Structure 1
Amino acid sequence: MRAMRMHGYGGPDVIHDDEVAQPVPGPGEVLLRVAATTFNPSEAGLRRGLLRSIVPVDLPYTMGLDVAGTVAAAASSELAAGSSGLAVGDRVIGRLDGRAAADFAVAPENVLVRVPPEVDLADAAALPIAGLTAWQAVFEHAGVTAGQRVLINGTGAIGRFAAQLARHAGAEVVVASRSRGDVAGRFDAVLHLVPAPPRHAPLIRPGGVLVSVTTPADQLPAGDFRAVHFIVRNDTADLAAMLELVASGEVTIDIAGRRPLTDLAAVHAAAETGGLPGKTLLLPSRP
């Protein structure tokens, strides 16, 4: 089978299109026939070696953190009988520690969530990291409720999901962007989702909250508000709740591009030059 593997740390050219043996699931794991994976900015940092002390990997490393696919097999016959909750043929998504950028991937059963029939399986690959980050930023860390005023600083996949979730909660939402210029007014919550200093902190009302996924806690500004930095948590309950909103039409998945899996290195290169707006899916080719 095909797998897009990182053979060292460096530029996009360290990503190779390799032919490898199909993986075999172990206890508590399933084999997925991959429908799609995605590109996440954090994977560029991983490739460049910036996360080596936090996320050590064995090389060559099969890339891909988000996965959408169909359960093809398991380590035991119990799965086929449905006793584990999943069954062969189930459509699922989840967040992995790599291995999704391939024709087939092994995944722990306990990180996977079934995809409702109303949701396109490949598109759902955009949810595990970006969707979970937005969900936890809006509901867990900012505690957004109806009637509040929320500023979203970031127009990427996380920002788009966060804006929809905050509106779903009943908040008034303003989205900041480079082209928008200055933002006026005061806000109960500011969600800082871009790799730059949080410049909107002076707009937070007393008792409000600044939530950042990029600026470390010790670099967040102080004030008469709460400041939080967090790293997304893999949570199947949150992911299932996000899927329900997508299935009901309350949240839409914006896909900016669909590329063959073999374009992964080119997608990394485009991201480094700012030529990759929105969420890009990587799709394995099928015979």
Structure 2
Amino acid sequence: MRAIEFAEYGPPSVVYVAEVPQPHAGPGEIRIAVRASGVSPGEMRIRSGALRDVVPVTFPFRTGFDAAGVVDEVGDGVAGVDEGDEVFGMVGAATRGANAEFAVLTGWAPKPAGWSWEEAGGAAGAVETSTRVLDRLAVRAGQTLLVQAAAGGVGTVAVQLAVARGATVIGTASAHNHDFLRSLGAEPTTYGTGLAARVGALAPAGVDAVFDCAGGALPDLVAIAGDTARVVTIADMDAAAHGVHMSHGAPADETGKAVGAGADPLAVHGLALAVTLAGEGRLRVPVAAAFPLAEAAAAHELSETRHARGKIVLMS
């Protein structure tokens, strides 16, 4: 089968299409014929080498964390899903490999009828990441959350999940994305110089938590939150220097503890809630662009611009 991988650290051009053996579902797993899969911003940093001291890599590295498709193998011990079912979900964090024609999922949920394949293919990673961070920040009804880079693939989903929890959400984005953020339920503002004053005008009582999806502004974000413990980033490699937690997912070892430096357990439970919210019309997955597998390098290039509004996906 065709799959996307890279065999060295470097720019988007190191990504290529490889012919690899098909994977098969083991106990507790399912295999899908992939229709669409997500391009993960976190994997841009893995590919570039920026995370080499945090996330161990064995080359060649197969890319892709989330996918959607049709079930064609059901592993031992799996109930509630049959061959032919349409699902979305995630592969093992250690093995990856969702950017392919077939993928083995370790966590999944039924594909919402209202989602296209493109939306479903890019959903699980953003849902898992958003749920993981919102859980760590304990975001709940009545609170105010600031989402930095709210128009991106994770930010758009984080806004909607926080709104669903009953939180008031302020989201930063370029001015041309402000109406888009309002449509998701956030109060928009621009990022950059003067952010604290703009957020203060929108939230005179202050914000309770900050979810940073961009990086590069932690001193301002900590000042806005008033406490490093109230800020979580998924994008700033200098987080530790600012006393801020950088959240990334990792598989669990035999004791159930997440492995990898500073890793948080995967929030797979978020997928079921996403299905419910999608069915109620309260969660959509904005798609910035869809590329065929053969153009995976171009998808990586677009992701690295950090100007894509929503998810970038690959179509199998």
What TM-score does the superposition give when structure 1 sets the normalisation length? 0.82
Structure 2 CA distance for aligned equivalents of residues 54 and 184 of structure 1:
32
Map Cα deviations across residues 9-30 of structure 1 (whole Å, 9 max, x no partner): 2222222222333333344433
Counterparts of 1:175-186 in structure 2, within 5 Å, are 175-177=171-173, 179=175, 180=190, 182=195, 183-185=198-200, 186=206
Structure 2 partner of 1:213: 234
Counterparts of 1:49-128 in structure 2, within 5 Å, are 49-74=49-74, 84-96=79-91, 97=93, 98-108=96-106, 111-128=107-124
Whether the aligned pair in 2 keeps the contact of 1:64 and 1:100 (CA below 8 Å) is yes
- Does the alignment pair 1:170 with 2:190? no
Moved more, 42-51 or 227-236: 227-236
Greater strand proportion: 1
Structure 2 CA distance for aligned equivalents of residues 68 and 59 of structure 1:
25
Structure 2 partner of 1:236: 268
Question: Please, what is the CA RMSD of the aligned residues?
Answer: 2.7
2:223 pairs, out of 177, 202, 208, with 202
Instruction: Rate the CA distance shift 1:35–1:203 in 2: closer, same or farther, 3 A.
Output: same
Structure 1 partner of 2:283: 251
Map Cα deviations across residues 75-120 of structure 1 (whole Å, 9 max, x no partner): 5xx67xxx63321112222222311111112334xx2222233433
Map Cα deviations across residues 208-234 of structure 1 (whole Å, 9 max, x no partner): 93233334663335xxxxx65433432
Structure 2 partner of 1:224: none
Structure 2 CA distance for aligned equivalents of residues 151 and 54 of structure 1:
26
**Secondary structure of the residue that 1:184 maps to in structure 2?**
helix
Structure 2 partner of 1:283: 315
Whether the aligned pair in 2 keeps the contact of 1:113 and 1:236 (CA below 8 Å) is no
Whether the aligned pair in 1 keeps the contact of 2:287 and 2:309 (CA below 8 Å) is no
Whether the aligned pair in 2 keeps the contact of 1:209 and 1:228 (CA below 8 Å) is no
Cα shift at 1:44: 1.3
**Secondary structure of the residue that 2:208 maps to in structure 1?**
strand
Whether the aligned pair in 2 keeps the contact of 1:4 and 1:17 (CA below 8 Å) is yes
Map Cα deviations across residues 109-155 of structure 1 (whole Å, 9 max, x no partner): xx2222233433431222222112222323x1222233322221112
Identity fraction in percent: 30
What TM-score does the superposition give when structure 2 sets the normalisation length? 0.75
Instruction: Rate the CA distance shift 1:184–1:116 in 2: closer, same or farther, 3 A.
Output: closer
Counterparts of 1:127-138 in structure 2, within 5 Å, are 127-138=123-134
Aligned length: 271
Q: Please, which runs of 5 or more residues in structure 2 have no aligned partner?
A: 176-189, 201-205, 250-264
Cα shift at 1:255: 0.8
Structure 2 CA distance for aligned equivalents of residues 125 and 9 of structure 1:
25
Q: Please, which runs of 5 or more residues in structure 1 have no aligned partner?
A: 222-226
Structure 1 partner of 2:42: 42
